[in-house]
Amino acid sequence: MADGAGEVDESRLALVRRARRMYRLLGERYPDAHCELDFEDPFQLLVATVLSAQTTDVRVNGVTPTLFARYPDARALAAADRVEVETIVQPTGFFRAKTDSLLKLGAALVETFDGQVPRRLKDLVTLPGVGRKTANVVLGNAFGVPGITVDTHFGRLVRRFGWTQEEDPVKVEHAVGELFPRKDWTQLSHVLIFHGRRTCHARRPACGVCPVARLCPSYGEGETDPVKAEKLLRTGPRA
């Protein structure tokens, strides 16, 4: 029993140390990692994050200046003309469903929170179109409340890294959260999303130029030749 417990503890300790070492190395690669959605206040970030589903940050950033100029707050959005909103957000895809979510979101903010974006996760997830991922983006980047954002990049990388094998985003969030101090959660999310967009791609990861290659159990899934891998690197949120 003691030996078994010791082995489990040692394995857990090794995982924590490896995960934190990988995070430090990735942080050195992406010292400027940040939320790539443009926003000026919590309301704008909330709306932009809702719009970011199934599209790129670049496309969202292309429409939000017009959207926010026309509808600068929750009350304006709640009273918005549906057709006009659909026209503005159309480039982001699924524009009818997103418009519906935005109108309901504005109304819920006005009716329940006096037009203000709530600062608690349990309140945010009650809003139309807002799940834990969106809530953690808003909490971490608009309010400074640490949170882990499990998007497709984050989930893919933590499984490749062997930090967890969970598929469910909530279980991934909790499993990874146990490996790092809470204060690191928001920046950890940014760093991994940057790495997923720029280097550790879904189909052809650039293993040969990855700063955590020697610590990654999935090394070799992608291109290992440094010269060829270098050509796979991407830049910016368009990735």
Tens-place pLDDT, residues 37-83: 999 999 999 999 999 999 999 999 999 999 999 999 999 999 999 99
In the block, residue with structure tokens 């790495």 = 195
4 vs 216: which has the higher pLDDT: 216
Dihedral angle over CA of 103, 121, 50, 46, nearest 10: 80
**Catalytic residue of the set 57, 133, 171, 225:** 133
Share of the chain above pLDDT 90, in %: 93
Domains of the chain from N-terminus onward = 2-31+148-230 (1.10.1670.10), 42-142 (1.10.340.30)
Q: List Cβ neighbours of 119 (8 Å cut-off, separation of 6 or more).
A: 139, 143, 145
**Catalytic residue of the set 151, 168, 183, 231:** 151
Judge residue 69's burial from the number of C-beta atoms within 10 Å of its C-beta, 0-12 exposed, 13-18 middle, 19 or more buried: exposed
Average pLDDT, the chain: 93
Q: Which two tokens stand for residue 148?
A: 């882990």
The Cα–Cα gap between 222 and 12 comes to 27
Q: Which two tokens stand for residue 75?
A: 């009350």
Active site residue 133: yes
Active site residue 3: no
**Confidence band of 237 (pLDDT split at 50, 70, 90):** low
pTM score, whole prediction = 0.89
